Chains A and B, each alone.
Chain A
Amino acid sequence: MAVVTFSRNDFESLVGKRLKDSDYTEAIPMIGVTTESLDKDSVSFEVFPNRPDMLSAEGFARALKAFMDGSKKIKYETGKVYGAVKADKSVENVRPYVVCAVVRNVKLTGHALKSLMQFQEKIHETFGRKRERVAIGVHDMSKIKFPLKYAAYEPPEISFVPLDKKEKLNLAQILHRHDKGKDYGWILEGREKYPVITDANNNVLSFPPIINGELTRVTEKSKDLFIDVTGTSKHYISKTLNILCASLIDRGAKVEAVKIDYGKSSETTPDMNCQKIKLNADYLNGLLDTDLKENEIRTLLLKMGVDFTNGVASVPFYRTDVMHQIDIVEDVAISMGYGKFEPRIPKIPTMAERDELQEKCLALKEIMVGLGLEETVSFVLTNYNKQFKMMNAPVEECAEILNPKTEDYTICRKYILPSLIAVLADNKHNEYPQRIFELGDCVYLSNNDTGASNVRKVGVALCHKNADTNEIKSVLETFMNLYGMKYSLKNSAHPSLIKGRCGDILVDGRKAGFIGEVDPAVLQNWGLENPVAVFEMDVE
């Protein structure tokens, strides 16, 4: 989730009135935004990813203004078509879509510039998926000669001076030498050609999604802007351009359209038409348990910036979150206020049903506790070292993580015993005797649909100066007797247990687990100084 910070003064002048602290902490959260921090000069909000239009101070203020004073509608429109951008077929395999706009009479001073830069950064990060899906370029219009061309070239073919550099670099050099090239070069990995926007004088405006040219750098003096948005999804780049244009119009600018010519087809951007979506009032009233008439719905929706007439909602062009009429229903609910809905419990005739394995485990835990054992709960995640090597056991194949963040967690455990030993090793400073048990999931690779299965196991470890095979055998015997399960023991060997003091636990003639005293060599691996006697077995 993105956190944005606005100047409080600028924000309130955009809203059109002074806001009290309580407006920020009580009222604004009710539109679905959390106020992260607030002081005299600035305010930070946490904006949910479905409302990228609220990542800009202008967009946020617009939403709040409508929410607070309801009915006023702002008109957004594009002027004449200024010029054309030819999108070459060569971009199809690398970054297929572009949308553009020309913005006139911009005053990019102070807060307006800061808001624009913050918006650009946040949208790249979130909605733009780190520039892969959406990348924005903003240029000083006075340096550009139309028509423009959007095409892909082999990296050494094109050179220009990128932002923040003094010398010309070709596209490959930019990826290696420029900070932005290093940050975002991965997006172009494996491509033979890279996308570039050039003007009629063959000057490079932009190398999306990496960097703009120094030539068209925007300064506080820039009066007219050219905006390009490129990406992998026409929908998302259009929405991004819409949000940008709406914000600049809120600051007093005028927007002119640009024709994008794909050869076979063409379109004019930005498209400021509302999204029309049918809203069935019965559906709405059924889900909210309300009895709202069409005009009441209209009033409520106007507070959310949405118009509603004749069963059709008109969603403003800068909103990105409306996919289904349910999204309009939510707007109505938010507009009413969640506090207006009286909680109630319906009568739904269902029977409680317990999971059998869970029930079994509860019974087993009761027995364990009755035997005076203390329950521990460990991670399923572990690593080969703890699970096998420190247990002096041969490494087995496990469910393994592809992208572990630390060496501590690289596999899912197959056995409980190493978890128990780890707990004992962590508790050497605590009072003895330590008689512990754990009942939990291990993971085995399997032929299940997911390729792995949970295996529920139980393990017991007794650690004190007199712990031995006799004691653990008595625990097992009592445990199995109380649970009512017949079993037998067979002398055998286990790599972590003392030779000649361990055995297999057999149930119905099949091996269900093992029992014995932990090998002193293993104890030493873990720094344990007291004998440890253990058993571990499958629960199912």
Chain B
Amino acid sequence: MIRFDNLSKRYEGGFEALRNVSFEMDAGEMAFLTGHSGAGKSTLLKLLMLIERPTSGNLLINGKNLNRLAHSKVPFYRRQVGVVFQNHQLLFDRSVFENVALPLQVAGYSPGDIGRRVRAALDSVGLLEREQQNPVALSGGEQQRIGIARAVVHKPKILLADEPTGNLDPQLSAEIMALFKRFQDVGVTVLVASHDINLINRMNMRIMRLNQGQMEEDGISYGGY
């Protein structure tokens, strides 16, 4: 599903965020991306969202090379990817419902379809009763779950998360991670960047560790170290 092929990213000014990174993820696989801040986790996710383009190497999604994707096609690619941000990027000038509906509106769904799918997404994160509230009135954990609902409302094949538990206490963080696991269970490919080693070790999943832009370790953890 996702294939990084000897990929490097050098920013203007010479900083090399990723160096010859290669890995593959199968459809329906879930993995964690970890490493110190500045190790390249965010850059890797940005490449996957086409916010940044690689300096060299190939990035293949479902066998298609993203390097060759024209600027005008980028929005259509992004509609197949769901993204959860650390600061959740919710808009406080509209209700929870309207926030979650945004990816569907953008893709041109009809109002009836939007209503049905938004409620299904809110239900899956357990916040259906909050749909008419403003997200500013919700707690940090709830806001993050709204962000997840927005990321999955259009049923993407790939779900990316950048430090989704960064501002949450351990119990809420575990809940959020369990939520991601549920999406993996229904076939979504999930990649979560997190520096919360304790939490991700408990998940018993594939962990990729970046260090100074290089893939240092890639394997399954067994809750040990």
Q: Do A and B come from one complex?
A: no
Q: Which residues of B contact A (CB under 8 A)?
A: none
Q: Which residues of A contact B (CB under 8 A)?
A: none
